A = this chain, B = another copy of it.
Amino acid sequence: MRCFFRVGDLVTRDLTEVHDLTDEIINYVAESRIKNGHVLIQPMHTTVGIWLNEGEPRLVRDFKKGVDERVPFEGNYFHDDIDKRLDCPPDEPINCHAHLKSAFLSNPSLSLVVFGGKLQLGRYQRILFGEFDGPCPRKHKTRRKWIISIIGA
* A115 adjacent to B62 (CB under 8 Å): no
Distance in Å: Cβ of A88 to nearest Cβ of chain B: 9
Contacts of A153 in B (CB 8 A): 1, 3, 151
Among B79, B124, B145, point to the contact of A62 (Cβ < 8 A): B79
> A96 on the interface (CB 8 Å rule)?
yes
Contacts of A67 in B (CB 8 A): 104
Among B56, B70, B114, B124, point to the contact of A104 (Cβ < 8 A): B70
Main secondary structure of the interface of A (DSSP, over half): mixed
> A93 on the interface (CB 8 Å rule)?
no
* B61 adjacent to A54 (CB under 8 Å): no
Among B51, B79, B100, point to the contact of A58 (Cβ < 8 A): B79
A142 to B24: give the CA distance in the assembly, Å: 31
* B40 adjacent to A111 (CB under 8 Å): yes
* A81 adjacent to B54 (CB under 8 Å): no
* B51 adjacent to A108 (CB under 8 Å): yes
* A54 adjacent to B152 (CB under 8 Å): no
> A31 on the interface (CB 8 Å rule)?
no
* B46 adjacent to A54 (CB under 8 Å): yes
Interchain Cβ contacts under 8 Å between A and B, 15 examples: A1-B153, A38-B38, A44-B125, A46-B52, A46-B125, A53-B99, A53-B102, A53-B108, A56-B87, A58-B79, A58-B84, A63-B100, A109-B112, A122-B145, A151-B153
| Those 4 A-B pairs whose CB atoms lie nearest each other, nearest first | A44-B122, A52-B108, A58-B78, A3-B36
